[in-house]
Chain A
Amino acid sequence: MTPSFPIEFCVLFLGVVLLLADAFFPDMDKRKLAHIALVWLGGFLVATFFLRPALLWASPAGFYLADPLGIFFKQFALVATMLTLVLAIEYAPVVERAIPGSKPGAGLGEFFILPVFTCAGLMWMASAADFIMIFCALELVTISFYIQVAYLRKCPASLEAGTKFLILGALSTGFLVYGITWIYGLSGQTGLSAIAGAFAGIPAIPQSSQTALLFGLGLVLVALGFKVAAAPFQFWVPDVYHGAPTPVTAFLSVGSKAAGFVVLMRVLGPFLTVPEIETRVITVLQVLAGITLIYGNLAAMPQTNLKRLLGYSSIAHAGYLLMGVASVGSPLAGRAIVFYLVGYLLMTFLAFLILIPVAKAAGGDDIAHFNGLGRRSPGLALAMLLAMLSLAGLPFTVGFLGKFFIFEAAMQEQQYFLVAIGVVTVACGFYYYLKVVRAMYWQPVPVDAAPVEFSPLGRFAAAFLAALILIVGIFPKPILDILP
């Protein structure tokens, strides 16, 4: 049977080939690169469905794990990358304008190729079962993101975002390595299953070791909290989301977050088997979830820029996901988190996909630039309406079911305090997501409104995402069946 590890190498190889093509054919239309990448990634996506988890190759050292969860997130990463490329094709004119080169399309090639490398990193992260592997995959993702965030090199906002992301990202990497060191020092292992085995061998862990272990895990949590945009490690989010090129923002908010949560679930596994520290870890997660929910939702309310709003909303959604992580005791929690991430992918990409042509036509990405969109281009407005309602969690959309599963798991674990916070923040969410709806439908059309142009590929992707939001929201069974 097909082993799974070549898939990542294939993606990596695709990236290298595309880079070479970009260098050796300077006169080609760079959009072709993106189209080639789309086709190949689609092919890899199909290929992943023929991987049989049971028959997979797993390394003897246990650093690579291709279980159903890992394979599912490889598919998730591929879909996210493909959508990012669709967004990037839509966004290409902005990049061309921001990077004046000797010939048209200079610098556009890498803009389409870097996400492919990120994708390989995300796919490795999905399968990483060893701290070394986690670290390497995470760095591949993060370093390729550093470049992408700062890509518009003539645009100060993008550069500022890049610098901020670089410094804080490097800091969080430091935390991660230091945390891994502590855990290694205590258990003598870096493999997650080996760590669990090391703890299982000891009848009772001494108090001092418990504290040291929690310290190490806390440092790792800080680094992962940075990746998933959890408060209080969220300071980079609004500025980076605002300054980065829109496709990168979308990729960052979906890909990076999803990978962060997979790693979080994997890393917490061995520690939650230790009864002495389990309750304390859960308490920490509860506190993180509570702060993230409150901060993300409250700070989103006064925003006037849509990209910033989506940045804060990304923090808010990290809060709901953390609520699910804090309820890991419930058998429903794992599936709830994965389902939530799937829904989050659909609605976030749809929102960013609509944002690009509207921002292009209106000359900015404020909420006010959406004024009267319901009359200017009803189709786009309808798609944006769906994305916003789904983000807010209205029934018959995938966002509602995601919240429903998370809250169900939390209630089963009797996290009543978190649930109470969640109810209030959901109401806040309605306020700020409906602000966009209000702009589109209540506000008059501005006098100087330019017609919104949207490519056929973009239209197709938007219709596809919108349809999925509704179909999965009404009839989630097929998705639930393929979930691990």
Chain B
Amino acid sequence: MTQVSPLLFLILVPLVASAFIFVGSSARRTALIASLVNLVFVLALFAVFQTGDASYQFVSSTPVIPSLGIALTLGADGLSLIMLLLTALVTVAAVAVARTPDKNAGWFYASLLFISAGGLGAFASIDLFFFYMFHELALIPTFLLIGIWGSGDRQAAAWKATIYLALGSFVLLLGLIGLYLIQPEGSRTFDLRSVISMAGLGVLGDGTWVYLLLLLGFGILVSLFPFHTWAPQAYASAPPPAAMLHAGVLKKFGLYGLIRIASPILPEAVTQFANLLLILLVGNLLYVGYVTISQRKLDWMLGYSSVMHMGYIFLGFAALNVFSITGASLLLFAHGLSIAALFALSGELRERTGTLDLAEFGGLAKPMPFFGLLFGFASFAAIGLPGFVGFPGELLVFFGAFAGGEPLMDSVNGVEIFALNNFQIATVCAVWGVVISAIYMLRAYRRIFFGPVSDRWKGLPEISGVPRVAIVTLLVVMLVTGFFPNLLIRLLASTSLWL
């Protein structure tokens, strides 16, 4: 194909903008314009996207290493488009709420744009090799962002996150190479579409070990229990825009990858190791959930909560049915937006007060009522209250997961009775997870905004200007898609996932 995919433009905009920043154009303005251009562009893609067509659209392919079947193949279906929208939205919000640092402002904004370009590239790639490469593009900007402009024990956090992510992505790379090698010789390729069709024909070799590598690699990247310890520390130390982009967008890469690659290509292996994954994801939901409750600092609490919420999405993936995967896809979108809004708000809070220690706050709703309102909405969205897009997502995951696996029947005195299988037990635990997130979110909300206001906080300025618009936009998108989830589900119906 000779035509150039419009998606390439999407990836190039942030990269070209960072080049402009290095040459000397105003860092903040350039970054903001570039991210807005991308957002408009993604919305335009939504307009021309043909729903009901299950194949990839806007496809273009440039061979890079033909002998290995590697090509820069870009394209989008419904799920990719949703993720692209998420990336574009969060990028705009992250750049909008960013405070221009005194030193190296150019590097700061260029790093944010690189993370965005990495996310966009990964979600727009059909070729697995480039899917991987684009994700890695974000690794070093994250390292720099945390290490230079972070707070607290930023150096340790940056090292830990970088080493974990490097290790995770290398395991993932081995998994992808494995996926390549189990294909029959002569027709090996990294093109996802061809691999899926080969899986449909049943010509792939034994993929059990490939799935385990993918699960481990993606698992480390998504902070699957017990490989999650890098995440809260990194998010607590990262500057707010970096935490927004990483927790909101990049971390979704791993789950997106599992849904994209493992569920259509290696469903037997997913089923075979479902119990293992269920145990780990219940660890995410309950163990990390309880750890989240005990946090005394808002940034750490949000970091742990972002780890915990991955458990729902893993549950949706593990159950492998239309309901659960649709729910998981919705949750990818929902969690990305809600965690981005929360990190943005906690960043604003730290900017005003210089602390995020929950014990020092109280009564902030008095000086900044609108801020309190926004925080409340964002918390509700994170818990998954009806009206926000997280609600249909969680609901579909629970329904789907409860129907997952083989129904387990027992018999008492010859009468068949119903028993809970492992999926159903995990679903019960996941519902508990909702209660846990309600506990910590509402408790944090009460500590910060309710009660008597101390003299220290009386003169706090209200949130205003560009950050206010950005955060309101995130919340509005969550509300609109929450009341009309069909806007997204229609798109998901036109993906290659169900073929």
Which residues on A are within 8 Å of B, measured CB to CB?
Answer: 374-375, 385, 389, 392, 394-396, 400, 404, 407-408, 411-412, 419, 423-424, 426-427, 430-431, 434, 437-438, 441-442, 474-477, 480
Contacts and interface: CB of A to CB of B under 8 A. Distances in A.
Contact of A389 (B103, B140, B173, B177): B140
A411 B147 contact: no
Contacts of A431: 159, 163
Given A404-B173, A434-B143, A395 B136 contact: yes
Interface in B85-104: 103-104
Interface in B151-174: 155, 159, 162-163, 166-167, 170-171, 173-174
B104 A374 contact: yes
A423 B177 CA distance: 13
A343 to B, nearest CB: 14
B403 interface: no
Contact of B65 (A411, A442, A477): A477
Contacts of B476: none
B170 A477 contact: no
Contacts of B294: none
B177 A408 contact: yes
B162 A434 contact: yes
B103 A477 contact: no
B234 interface: no
Contacts of A476: 64-65
Given A374-B104, A430-B162, 9 more contacts: A385-B140, A389-B140, A394-B136, A395-B132, A427-B166, A430-B166, A434-B159, A437-B144, A441-B148
Number of chain B interface residues as a range: 20 to 34
24 contacts: A375-B103, A395-B137, A396-B136, A400-B136, A404-B173, A407-B173, A407-B174, A411-B178, A419-B174, A423-B171, A427-B163, A437-B140, A437-B143, A438-B147, A441-B147, A441-B148, A442-B147, A442-B148, A442-B155, A476-B64, A476-B65, A477-B63, A477-B64, A477-B65
B385 interface: no
A474 B70 CA distance: 11
Q: Interface of chain A, helix or strand or loop or mixed?
A: helix
A383 to B, nearest CB: 13
A194 B132 CA distance: 47
Contact of B167 (A394, A396, A400, A427): A427
A394 B177 contact: no
A395 B133 contact: yes
B272 interface: no
Q: Which residue among A404, A407, A480 has the maximum number of chain B CB atoms within 10 Å of its CB?
A: A404
Nearest to A438: B147
B139 interface: yes
A408 B64 contact: no
Would you list the 8 A-B pairs with minimal beta carbon distance, nearest first?
A395-B133, A395-B136, A427-B167, A430-B166, A442-B147, A426-B170, A423-B170, A408-B177
Q: Which residue among A400, A423, A424, A476 has the maximum number of chain B CB atoms within 10 Å of its CB?
A: A423
B138 to A, nearest CB: 10
Q: Interface of chain B, helix or strand or loop or mixed?
A: helix
Interface string B234-247: 00000000000000
Contacts of A394: 136, 139-140
B384 to A, nearest CB: 35
Interface string B51-91: 00000000000011111100000000000000000000000
Interface of B: 63-68, 103-104, 107, 132-134, 136-137, 139-140, 143-144, 147-148, 155, 159, 162-163, 166-167, 170-171, 173-174, 177-178, 180-181
A441 B144 contact: yes
Nearest to B178: A411
A438 B159 CA distance: 10
Contact of B174 (A375, A411, A427, A475): A411
A385 B147 CA distance: 15
Contacts of B180: 408
B473 to A, nearest CB: 32
A437 to B, nearest CB: 7
B166 A374 contact: no
A411 B210 CA distance: 11
Nearest to A431: B163
Nearest to A425: B170
Contacts of A423: 167, 170-171, 174
A480 B147 contact: no
Q: Which residue among B66, B133, B163, B178 has the maximum number of chain A CB atoms within 10 Å of its CB?
A: B133
A426 B166 contact: yes
B186 to A, nearest CB: 12
Contacts of A395: 132-134, 136-137
A396 B140 CA distance: 12
A389 B136 CA distance: 11
A361 B177 CA distance: 45
Contacts of B178: 411
B374 to A, nearest CB: 33
Contacts of A392: 166
Nearest to B62: A475
A480 B65 contact: yes
A377 to B, nearest CB: 14
B157 to A, nearest CB: 12
Nearest to A332: B68
A396 B133 contact: yes
B64 A411 contact: no
Contacts of B67: 480
A182 to B, nearest CB: 39
A263 to B, nearest CB: 27
Contacts of B104: 374-375, 441
Contacts of B66: 477
A474 B71 CA distance: 11
Contacts of A375: 103-104
Contacts of B144: 437, 441
A396 B137 contact: yes
